[in-house]
Structure 1
Amino acid sequence: MRQQAWYTGRFATFGMSYLGYTQWSIMAARYDSPRYNYSDAEKRAAAREHAAAVVLVGPHNFADLVWGTGAMWLAAVDWAGATQTMGQKGIARAMWDMVQLTRNPDGDVETKRGVPLLTAVERRFEEGSTLAWLREHVKGSREQIQGERAREYWRRMDQSRALETTEVPVLLVGGWVDVFVRETVKQWRRLDERGVTVGLTMGGRSHADADQDMREMFDWFETHLAQKPDAKRRPARARVQVMTTGPDANKDEWKWFSSWPPANIQPVHLGLAADGQLLFPSDTPSQTKTTTDTASFTFDPHHPTPTYGGDLLFGGGYVDDSALADRSDVLAFTTPPLSRSVEIHGRPRIELLHRSDNPHVDLFIRLCGVEFKSGTAVSRNICQAYQRLDPQRGVGASGGGKTTVKVVLELSDCAHRFHAGTAIRVVVAGGNFPHYSVNLGTGEAQATGTVMRPATHTVVLGEKEGSRLVLPVLTVE
């Protein structure tokens, strides 16, 4: 750009998804690298030239997306299919295939269900660049992407350095049910901690329907690139869409906050109780029970718990997931109809007292809103968490997994209002397929394992001392 007559010495960037990732790559550039051969003055000048960035649903670390939960993110198989089609049949056909994936987000289930998974992938794809990178993805693991021992293949995908070094004013635009929702909020938090100029806009978007208020982007550029004194500035740093469960579900409200999550948040603990109850402290009996209730379910990797919407790459979003609560491999805990509205902002958390007869297990947690229509409870997803547990947890006389341990999982951020008359539900399961690869139940590598074994999960209940859901409830504004 410096060699062009039109270049003013300052530039801004804008882009979504992978073009968001490329912006983080630019901001992570090491200007002290020998490849640049810059003087100290040139290094400082280069850093200042990037005047503003607008990152729309863009990740900074693909490695964490693929293996960060400990299970493989299987949408990589569908993305590989689209890129291979693009190379063979052109971009128009590839785009058509991706449109079909938004309608059928499960994608290539046959390949994803394959055991061994690597064999199924190699059978599905022709030799070439697409299979080469997908093979590396399938052969990965959480251990390969973390810390000093991370493989070079995965380190190259991590642009986290940008979060630690950039001074570029960044506007982050994300979605509550976007595949990169956690990355977007992580970007916000770290830049905010460092005192970097950063704005956040979070709406009820999935990745497939992400859009951008162009006026908001231009205002950001006029402020930080053009440096216009009369530029329209944001009234506050964080703008979020409050989704709703209840009669006004189509009247979602936008709110401005000086921080995210807002300062006026109070954690409220709801106990997971017998008979599928989810109880507020005010609902808890004054007499503590002398016996301990438990609830159990069995996850069978041959017949895994299915995916219903959520933060997917293709399709997903908010869906009717009522069928989850009716499954034998799922535990569902639901409050009585609320006597007043409850509004939550931030990251819900679940604290499970958990054990399993097989140490090799995953946990899938989902928060839902429930409406009652003609006597029928209709559930829709809000936010969720997925984690492959450490098989060595609770190792003792009874062996890994069999000892009851406290498992704490943070769900993704949300802004949601439950109207009076609706209910809050939390779902506990052992899988979410084909969003994530199934836990084989044997400890074998995901890529090459051939044997699958079921696992029975047990959750300790109790209104006061058992497992609980912690909600970030908004107090008086």
Structure 2
Amino acid sequence: MYKVLPKQTVSMYTRDGVRLDADIYRPDAAENFPVLLMRQPYGRAIASTVVYAHPRWYAAHGYIVVIQDVRGRGTSAGEFKLFAHEIADGEDSIYWAAHLPGSNGKVGMYGFSYQGMTQLYAAAAKPSALKTICPAMIGYDLYTDWAYEGGAFCLQTNIAWAIQLATETARLCNDQPAYQALLTTARNLPVNNPEILQQLAPESFYHEWAAHTQPDTYWEELSPKRHLQAVDLPMFHIGGWFDTYLRGTLNLYKDIAARSITAQHLLVGPWAHLPWGRKVGEVDFGAKAASPVDRMQIRWFDQFLKDIDTGLLQESSICLFEMGSNIWRTFPSLNTANQKSYFLSTTGLASIREDSGILSNASPLKSGNPPTRLAPQNSAPSTQDILVHDPWRPAPSLGGHAGLPAGVFERSHIDCRSDVLTYTTQPLIEDLHLLGDVVVEIDCSADQPSYDLSAVLSQVQPDGKVYNLTQGYIHCPPTTAVPIKIQLQTTCVRIAKGNALRLSLSAACFPAYAMNSGNGAVLNSDDLRNAQVITLTVNCGGDRNSQILIPII
């Protein structure tokens, strides 16, 4: 370990003459070192220490660490425009960092969220000095991986982020009234009304994101995916099972690993967007869930920036935390072809009684009767459940990957609501290990032109407590085909014998996702005023193969 010199604050200038400021942490030694660069918009003193070790720790391991404010943020000059300048500015910053005194000319990048995005944009320019990146919790396709899910606007996370950035913009502009109002709002999240952004941050990216409801050229031009097709760098991909941007992490990994000739490693922990610790929501995943990322990144950078054989290239490229077992497991690939179907059946009272809706791995019965050993006494067979969504009291979001706070929570009080349908298996007779994508297929119809479907997979304990495992959401436009396919968040979990699986369906998951008015998303008070009650009919049993497909290890 090296002693570290006092922090230096230095500036560079981009090709168009904009000053960018950075803090530099150096080992106290005369030799040359590789450079680790983090480019971020939140004030460089923070340096992403909400999830990473302080830059001094990295410097003590023999690296020059540069934490830079992106254009228009912190003390850097210029105008901040979301992602717009990060390719050119990233390329210029890497060239500058590679030529710092004491640099050996090799640059690596690390960081999560926006700091992960700046790595992807910089890599798109293919600067020769950039040898490796460690993108964590990113959007690859910004429409499908970040702003929208299943065509539905991710209301809560988008508003929270927009308010955070707008608050800092107001501070930098010395707009004290806007700053105070936005700061008060930011400290009272979650917020489900975007009108404060319309009033106090009319230039926010939020308004463009909400207006571009389809995956059009706006998203294609903005997304890193478009710019990375010819890039092949060693990448260490980092995600969390309850991170709202896990789709981006996995989509980038799968895409580049399929065509790359350089090392691509993937680590997914039991974490939300932040922090990366042992407790996520109400569940403690144990000491092994604490983040190993800092030590793993040092090994990664030693391998690719110092040419030290760390043994990484001989290890499995995929390391996943299996929740329930609470251990890290390695896998050769993410492909899990062994999907098991659980079919929905009902007595017609799945919105009223928790024992009415049934999940069974037996083929659906042509008569429509649920399996008699599972059905409540004095019940009549049915092939339909009716769900009524009232926009004035929508089914609420709780945890998962899209809610604030994210993670695992006890949700039996939500499953008891009459606007939530529940379908439950018998208690498992042996442990069940899941890895991969959970898919729900629902044969349903509605009395309005458009509707939404929320699907949550949970485990039910013998004491009746219900804890969410993974969930998904879809916006169904008027031309939606049947059955509706809902892609749930990828997961890795062991469900202990004695517990049961439960699928919960609702027509809202608010405010995690914008509600559906019956004609489209509710994004302001006028939309809410025109929102309609939606009656949803779910068909199951008989020849209606409504089912959930679960990836079994």
TM over 0.5: yes
- 1:425 partner SS: strand
- 1:440 partner SS: coil
Q: Give 1:341's aligned amino acid.
A: D
- CA distance 1:84–1:327, change in 2 (3 Å): same
The residue aligned with 1:126 is 200
**1:294 paired residue among 384, 396, 407:** 384
Task: Please give the alpha-carbon distance, in whole angstroms, between the structure 2 residues aligned to 1:286 and 1:329.
Answer: 26
C-alpha contact 1:17 1:56 (8 A) present in aligned 2: yes
C-alpha contact 1:309 1:316 (8 A) present in aligned 2: yes
- 2:295 partner SS: helix
Question: Given the alignment of the two structures, is residue 382 of structure 1 paired with residue 456 of structure 2, yes or no?
Answer: no
Question: Given the alignment of the two structures, is residue 335 of structure 1 paired with residue 461 of structure 2, yes or no?
Answer: no
C-alpha contact 2:344 2:547 (8 A) present in aligned 1: yes
**1:184 paired residue among 237, 249, 266:** 249
The residue aligned with 1:4 is 100
- 2:161 partner SS: helix
Question: Given the alignment of the two structures, is residue 460 of structure 1 paired with residue 539 of structure 2, yes or no?
Answer: yes
Question: Given the alignment of the two structures, is residue 259 of structure 1 paired with residue 333 of structure 2, yes or no?
Answer: yes
More RCO (CA 8 Å, sep 6+): 1
Task: Please give the alpha-carbon distance, in whole angstroms, between the structure 2 residues aligned to 1:452 and 1:287.
Answer: 38
1:430-472 Cα offsets, whole Å, 9 max, x none, are: 1111111111113488566451111111111117742011111
Q: Give 1:126's aligned amino acid.
A: L
Task: Please give the alpha-carbon distance, in whole angstroms, between the structure 2 residues aligned to 1:390 and 1:473.
Answer: 32
1:228-262 Cα offsets, whole Å, 9 max, x none, are: 13555562010011112xxxxxx512110111135
Question: Given the alignment of the two structures, is residue 67 of structure 1 paired with residue 148 of structure 2, yes or no?
Answer: yes
Q: Give 2:162's aligned amino acid.
A: A
Task: Please give the alpha-carbon distance, in whole angstroms, between the structure 2 residues aligned to 1:441 and 1:57.
Answer: 33
Compute the displacement of 1:289 (Å). Answer: 4.0
C-alpha contact 1:208 1:314 (8 A) present in aligned 2: no
Task: Please give the alpha-carbon distance, in whole angstroms, between the structure 1 residues aligned to 2:540 and 2:168.
Answer: 51
- CA distance 1:122–1:268, change in 2 (3 Å): closer
Task: Please give the alpha-carbon distance, in whole angstroms, between the structure 2 residues aligned to 1:240 and 1:464.
Answer: 38
**1:14 paired residue among 104, 107, 110:** 110
Compute the displacement of 1:369 (Å). Answer: 1.2
- 1:8 partner SS: strand
Q: Give 1:430's aligned amino acid.
A: A
Q: Give 1:367's aligned amino acid.
A: L
Question: Given the alignment of the two structures, is residue 203 of structure 1 paired with residue 269 of structure 2, yes or no?
Answer: yes
Between 445-454 and 79-88, the greater mean CA deviation after superposition: 445-454
**1:165 paired residue among 230, 234, 239:** 230
C-alpha contact 2:166 2:201 (8 A) present in aligned 1: no
C-alpha contact 1:276 1:334 (8 A) present in aligned 2: yes
TM-score, normalization by structure 2:
0.69
C-alpha contact 1:207 1:313 (8 A) present in aligned 2: no
**2:191 paired residue among 108, 117, 140:** 108
Task: Please give the alpha-carbon distance, in whole angstroms, between the structure 2 residues aligned to 1:418 and 1:278.
Answer: 16
Question: Given the alignment of the two structures, is residue 276 of structure 1 paired with residue 357 of structure 2, yes or no?
Answer: yes
**Aligned counterparts, 1:48-447, within 5 A:** 48-64=128-144, 65-74=146-155, 75-88=157-170, 107-109=190-192, 111-112=193-194, 120-121=195-196, 125-127=199-201, 129-130=203-204, 133-141=205-213, 143=214, 145-146=215-216, 150-151=217-218, 154-196=219-261, 197-210=263-276, 211-233=291-313, 235-244=315-324, 252-262=326-336, 265-274=337-346, 275-281=356-362, 288-289=367-368, 293-312=383-402, 314-373=404-463, 377-393=464-480, 405-443=482-520, 446=523
Task: Please give the alpha-carbon distance, in whole angstroms, between the structure 1 residues aligned to 2:365 and 2:388.
Answer: 33
Task: Please give the alpha-carbon distance, in whole angstroms, between the structure 1 residues aligned to 2:360 and 2:274.
Answer: 36
1:53-98 Cα offsets, whole Å, 9 max, x none, are: 11121223433321343222222222222223334458xx99xx99
- CA distance 1:454–1:383, change in 2 (3 Å): same
- 1:296 partner SS: strand
C-alpha contact 1:347 1:472 (8 A) present in aligned 2: yes
C-alpha contact 1:208 1:315 (8 A) present in aligned 2: no
C-alpha contact 2:164 2:186 (8 A) present in aligned 1: no
C-alpha contact 1:219 1:233 (8 A) present in aligned 2: no
User: Cα RMSD between the aligned structures?
Assistant: 2.9
Between 57-66 and 20-29, the greater mean CA deviation after superposition: 57-66
C-alpha contact 2:456 2:505 (8 A) present in aligned 1: yes
Compute the displacement of 1:19 (Å). Answer: 0.3
Count of aligned pairs between the two proteins: 412
- 1:470 partner SS: strand
- 2:323 partner SS: strand
1:155-182 Cα offsets, whole Å, 9 max, x none, are: 4431103542211111111000001111
C-alpha contact 1:305 1:329 (8 A) present in aligned 2: yes
The residue aligned with 2:282 is none
C-alpha contact 1:239 1:257 (8 A) present in aligned 2: yes
Task: Please give the alpha-carbon distance, in whole angstroms, between the structure 2 residues aligned to 1:346 and 1:27.
Answer: 28
TM-score, normalization by structure 1:
0.79
C-alpha contact 2:149 2:473 (8 A) present in aligned 1: no
- 2:388 partner SS: strand
C-alpha contact 2:431 2:496 (8 A) present in aligned 1: yes
